[in-house]
Amino acid sequence: MSKAKKMLEAMRNNPRDDWRLEQLQTAARRYGIKWRHESSSHCVFIAPDGRTLPIPARRPVKFVYITLFIAFIGEAEPVNED
């Protein structure tokens, strides 16, 4: 199991933990989800189908945003990273 997949599973099991934005970005990269965060208060995750999810760039990320992020990724297939 990859690091990103383990991290996503840990998020599912414990969304109230102290998750950082960098960890969400790692998981998103593994599932082919891009993001933009250019000196703003939010990081916007962008799915391949065009859906977006803005998440405040505070530490730690609140659990409600972790649950939204998990739903956003859904059952997306991991992207092969060679």
Residue extents of the structural domains in the chain: 3-73
**What span, in angstroms and rounded, lies between the C-alpha atoms of 67 and 59?**
16
The pLDDT tens digits of the residues spanning 18-71 come to 899 999 998 898 888 999 988 788 999 999 889 999 999 878 899 999 999 999
Structure token pair of residue 78? 């991991």
* Prediction pTM value: 0.83
Amino acid identity at 42: H
B/e letters for 27-37, b = 16+ CB within 10 Å, e = fewer, are bbebbebebee
